[in-house]
Copies of this chain bind each other. A is one copy, B any other.
């Protein structure tokens, strides 16, 4: 009897599958979108992704992390937010925020003139060089030190971004005067030099200011990220408004443009151009601009691309993205006809205990394949797996204080399974 049912079932299913209305989707992906009915998800493979999915996507990659040599890891020496890496006369150069204080960060309330509030408080911009990108030699003094009081930035300068323009080097950075903290005013300043080895000269005024009252970036300009696109200087940044604690205030990213590294920089009329992300990471790519958007916002952990530097679309979904990436990108500042070849490695920072604001960060490197010039299939794989420590670490595991709340809530939430 059961066998008879099975035969009937099989015949029925076979007849159904062979009927004129239905064609089962093939094992080998059609290279063109099929002309028979397909689901919304399959239509997206053709309309938004591509039939090879991640493996056929030049803007998809895994990030493979390495520790760096040459940066002494000591208590209260922090290094974070590297610039893009540049290569001049065979030497790689990078700049980054570095805090060297006698005391650990204590938060905004308890900070003093010498005790930092956060990991990026009381910081200067440091420089290191390398011949291979893994082994680095750090200078013995900061490349750019805080300007004297009362100039904007006397409290801390941080999150630098490098620009090369007409043979000169420009470092853009956040400049804090009052105590660093959630509500501190923060414009962008710049310093310049003729050589990556310095010395650097402070431009006396801020070059990118927070927006007008009530606007999306009216208190802070974070993470300036310069590049050259269509012969113009574009500086991307994250904006923060003074309004806080309100559910509808978002952190987003915008861009300002100039033909002069000292400005004036004119904001895009359609800012913000990225609807989330925690740090900026943009580079010329394939005739447009690519952006790595990580950590925050509805489009967290995506690669995005824009033909005009202002209208970005999601190009891929990435995993375990780097924090504050500063890629090696030789054509980041190229003028004239350039297509943007992409990147194969970058520095970034890691906060070893998974915290972020009140303990030391380290610089690390990742390799990747976001380049039109290499084909590293191992970087195109997805299905990344994590060990147990990843799931149970602080911030991912259930916080201890939550267990009693969960048990209390499930006493009334967890109804019996509905059985008909």
Contact = CB atoms under 8 A, between A and B. Distances in A.
Contact of A328 (B26, B166, B317, B414): B414
A298 B49 contact: yes
Interface string A10-31: 1011101100011011111101
Copy number in the complex reads: 2
B9 A312 contact: no
Contacts of A9: 263-264
Majority secondary structure of chain A interface residues (helix, strand, loop or mixed)? loop
A298 B53 contact: yes
A389 B212 CA distance: 42
Contact of A351 (B65, B249, B385, B419): B385
B313 A249 contact: no
A6 interface: yes
A216 interface: yes
B295 A384 contact: yes
With most chain B CB atoms within 10 A of its CB, the pick from A56, A206, A311 is A311
A387 B352 contact: yes
Contact of A312 (B8, B39, B338): B39
A40 B332 contact: no
Interface string A365-380: 0110001011000100
A103 interface: no
A199 interface: no
A384 B374 contact: no
Given A13-B264, A209-B10, A387-B352, A299 B396 contact: no
A300 interface: yes
B420 A167 contact: yes
Contact of A24 (B37, B90, B216, B323): B216
B275 A53 contact: yes
B53 A320 contact: no
A358 interface: no
Q: How large is the interface on A (under 10, 10 to 19, 20 to 34, 35 or more residues)?
A: 35 or more
A333 B269 contact: no
B388 A390 contact: no
Contacts of A37: 269-270
B392 A39 contact: no
Interface in A358-417: 362, 364, 366-367, 371, 373-374, 378, 382-399, 402-403, 406-407, 409-410, 413-417
Nearest to A270: B39
A313 B250 contact: no
Given A133-B410, A406-B367, A354 B386 contact: yes
* Residue from A25, A29, A86, A299 whose CB has the most chain B CB atoms within 10 Å: A25
Contacts of A266: 12-13, 16
A331 B364 CA distance: 47
Interface string A328-368: 10111111001000001100001111111000001010110
Interface stretch (A105-113, A140-148, A176-184, A238-246): A238-246
List the 6 closest A-B pairs by CB distance, nearest first.
A27-B241, A354-B387, A9-B264, A40-B311, A24-B215, A49-B298
6 contacts: A5-B205, A8-B264, A26-B215, A29-B249, A86-B417, A345-B406
Given A12-B264, A296-B383, 6 more contacts: A3-B205, A21-B269, A26-B215, A40-B312, A41-B275, A333-B420
